[in-house]
Amino acid sequence: MARANDDAAAALTEYAELFALTGGDAFRVRSYQKAAKAIAGFPEDISVADVRGVPGVGEAIAKKMEEFLQRGSFRQLDDLRGRVPEGVRRLTRVPTLGPKTAIMLFEDYGIDSPAALGEAITSGRLDGVKGLGPKTLANLLKGIEQLEQSGRRVHIGVAMSLAEQVMTSLKAERIAYAGSLRRMKDTIGDIDILAVAPESIMTEFRAQPYVAEIIAAGDKKTSIRTTSGLQVDLRVVPAESWGAAMQYFTGSKEHNVAIREMAVKKGWKLSEYGLFEGERVIASESEEDIYAALGMQFVPPPMREDGGEVKAALRGELPTLVQLADLKGDLHTHTNLTDGIASLEDMVAAGHARGYVYYAVTDHAPDLAMQRMTLDKALEQRQQVADLQQKYPDMRLLHGTELNIAPDGSVDWPGEILREFDVCVASVHSHFSMSRDEMTRRFIAACENPYVDIIGHPTTRKIGKRPQVDADWEAVFRAAGRTGTAMEIDSFPDRSDLPADLVRLAKHHGVKFSIDSDSHAIPHLTNQRFGVGIAQRAWLTTEDVINTWPLERLLAFLGR
DNA sequence: GCCGTTTTCGGCCCGACTGTTTTCAGTCG
């Protein structure tokens, strides 16, 4: 992930943070943050294309970015780095501690890290300081502990099941999750739940067994920390403001700022209670009404990231996003012949029950020695698949395999064997820390294998456990586009791989995608909904996703 | 800092909650 854009955006984000910490103008801070985000999401490489073409980048930021591309930093950033110790930046990561307090602590008391702050509080050195009462100090101390222990984001699978648990535990007229979960981000920091319900729902909520700690308790909002460490906010909203509240709490913050500015320009005001002209309600009951009143298309939640969706919606040019119901099959699944836990018969029956038009069985191949796979076993399975096909005249079974991409880019079997499979997924399962150049060559070699149809879980990350491998993704995607090799969107929530930003980049290079479950058990088949979320965040349509295509078109793509 | 069929200057989103304040600042989303 070391595109020039990402490095430049990271430097600009750091500058925004330091600028805020040194008491810089808040509007300028926002300009820097906005520009950084736009640069990171810009499909063209700014070391080649003119950075002035990025929305939100004017003359001043362009100059900083040009200097950064020249020498890996810029003068103003160097200045601020010299003035603000690294630990002071970490101070603002303590919950409830913002830039104002961080500056004050550093300048007046020389506190330059969360650890130093903890020490100052316990030693009583901050007792009686204006603005820092005993409760504030106790909260900060607790925040420092949390920062050290958890405070980490969880992947969407964990967050989704917690949200569903919370919603079923409460009685409400209407209840739904909003926030980054509704936007289908791959990692979630906390969960926002909205409800239309009597105020008694708050006491009911606070008494639930999953509540470990009550962070805030009001009439309209209660925040708790669950036993798993994740924060959940429950907000009670009036029924007539449901749409406005969902719109507001779904975010993203940047998307909301953009559409609020539009409301202001029309002389209106948009809040979580509705869209108003003075006292008059223009729209509030549904999100659809609000977007319509603002003269724009309804923006699906996964697109609400201020990444060009507002302009596109105003022009009526939002793409029709791929939906879960568009998927006609799954092209990456396992059985108990290798590391799956369900039999071929049961997996296929479960796929058929989901209404698929086609279903691929792709067990591992011999190079993953621990799977004890052999060519004989694979051929025997092929016969079983052919026999099973008789039972399912309305669903085409594909016999495939998940190959292992060796460090040199080769795979388990030679071409004369590979071509007998209906579909070949190829994935990296080991040697994760090769150099960027070697890893890039490895992926390109796999793409150039004429029998490799799909690169499985390309970055091989495991959220919270293993980082992405390092590769020149632009070069890999160019090779995939050129060779007609699809990139997988592995829907397993701890993988979520490719991530949405890389999907966008790959699409820019003409790459097609396969949204697969990588199921090792029957319940995993439903994970495709997370993969669809990634695809939607990357603005994919059915045209981009090969397993939404009719069987004949898919078979033509696979070229067998 | 950026931005503009109301602007090249003067704007730039808004409300809830907490802890501390005797009317409000800071933080968060």
The percentage of residues in chain A with a pLDDT greater than 90, rounded to a whole number, is 58
Spacing of A96 CA from B25 C1' in Å: 13
- Provide the pLDDT for residue A474: 93
* pLDDT tens per residue across span A266-309: 889 899 999 998 888 999 999 999 999 999 999 999 999 988 89
Mean pLDDT, rounded, for A65-80: 93
Spacing of A283 CA from B12 C1' in Å: 24
Length of chain A (residues): 560
- Provide the pLDDT for residue A421: 96
Spacing of A28 CA from B10 C1' in Å: 15
CA distance A102 to A111: 8
Say if residue A504's pLDDT is above 50.
yes
Beta bridge partners of A423: A400
* pLDDT tens per residue across span A114-129: 889 999 998 888 888 8
Residue A457: φ, ψ to 5°: 20, 70
pLDDT tier, A448 (very low <50, low <70, confident <90, very high otherwise): very high
User: A134: which nucleotide lies closest, measuring CA to C1'?
Assistant: B19
* The pair of three-digit structure tokens given for residue A530, joined into one six-digit string: 């997370």
In A258-311, where do the E strands start and end?
269-271, 274-277, 280-283
User: A15: which nucleotide lies closest, measuring CA to C1'?
Assistant: B1
3-state DSSP of A349-362: HHHHHCCCCEEEEE
Spell out the long-range contacts of A368-375 with Cβ–Cβ below 8 A and sequence spacing 24 or more. A368/A338, A368/A404, A368/A429, A371/A338, A371/A339, A372/A338, A373/A337, A373/A338, A375/A413, A375/A417
Owner of token pair 């969902």: A246
Q: What is the DSSP letter of A72?
A: S
- Provide the pLDDT for residue A334: 93
User: CB of residue A93 closer than 7 A to nucleic acid strand B?
Assistant: no
User: A189: which nucleotide lies closest, measuring CA to C1'?
Assistant: B29
Spacing of A231 CA from B11 C1' in Å: 36
Residue A513: φ, ψ to 5°: -130, 155
Torsion of CA A149, A151, A156, A162, to 10 degrees: 80
- Provide the pLDDT for residue A34: 83
Say if residue A434's pLDDT is above 90.
no
Mean pLDDT, rounded, for A457-469: 84
Those residues whose C-beta lies under 8 Å from the C-beta of residue A101, and which sit 6 or more positions away, are: A131, A132
3-state secondary structure of A436: helix
CA distance A499 to A485: 18
* pLDDT tens per residue across span A146-168: 776 655 678 899 899 899 999 99
User: CB of residue A140 closer than 7 A to nucleic acid strand B?
Assistant: no
Protein footprint on strand B: which nucleotides are under 7 Å from a CB? 1-3, 6-7, 11-21, 25-29
User: CB of residue A51 closer than 7 A to nucleic acid strand B?
Assistant: no
Strand B proximal residues, A:254-293, Cβ < 7 Å: 256-257, 260-261, 264-265, 269-273
Cβ contact A405:A430 at 8 Å: no
Helices A75-83 and A4-21, axial angle in degrees (round to 10): 50
In sign, the C-alpha dihedral spanning A183, A93, A108, A75 is negative
Say if residue A1's pLDDT is above 50.
no
In sign, the C-alpha dihedral spanning A486, A489, A492, A497 is positive
* The pair of three-digit structure tokens given for residue A161, joined into one six-digit string: 């099941």
Spacing of A94 CA from B27 C1' in Å: 11
Order of all β-strands in the sheet with A396-404:
A329-330, A358-364, A396-404, A423-427, A454-455, A486-490, A513-516
Buried b (16+ CB within 10 A) or exposed e, A260-292: beebeeeebebebbbbbeeeeebbbeebebbbe
Closest residue, by C-alpha, to the C1' of B1: A28
Closest residue, by C-alpha, to the C1' of B25: A131
Spacing of A252 CA from B29 C1' in Å: 9
Question: Which domains can be identified in chain A, with CATH numbers?
Answer: 1-84 (1.10.150.110), 85-151 (1.10.150.20), 154-236 (3.30.460.10), 244-314 (3.30.210.10), 324-558 (3.20.20.140)
User: CB of residue A82 closer than 7 A to nucleic acid strand B?
Assistant: no
Owner of token pair 């780095």: A81
Q: What Å distances lie between residue A241 and A173, A183, A248, CA to CA?
A: 14, 20, 10
Helices A156-169 and A528-537, axial angle in degrees (round to 10): 110
Strand B proximal residues, A:357-396, Cβ < 7 Å: none
DSSP secondary structure letters along A488-530 = EEE--TTT-BS-HHHHHHHHHTT--EEEE--BSSGGGGGGHHH
Strand B proximal residues, A:231-250, Cβ < 7 Å: 231, 233, 249
Beta bridge partners of A214: A224
Q: Is A468 left (phi over 0), alpha (psi -120 to 50) or beta?
A: beta
pLDDT tier, A245 (very low <50, low <70, confident <90, very high otherwise): very high
* pLDDT tens per residue across span A301-331: 999 998 889 989 998 999 999 999 999 999 9
Spacing of A467 CA from B18 C1' in Å: 38
Torsion of CA A10, A459, A155, A176, to 10 degrees: 90
CA distance A176 to A192: 9
Spacing of A361 CA from B15 C1' in Å: 52
Closest residue, by C-alpha, to the C1' of B20: A131
* pLDDT tens per residue across span A393-407: 999 999 999 999 999
Q: Model's pTM, two decimal places?
A: 0.84
Peptide bond into A517 cis (omega under 30): no
Say if residue A242's pLDDT is above 90.
yes
Say if residue A54's pLDDT is above 90.
no
Strand B proximal residues, A:180-199, Cβ < 7 Å: 189-190, 192
- Provide the pLDDT for residue A49: 86
CA distance A359 to A329: 5
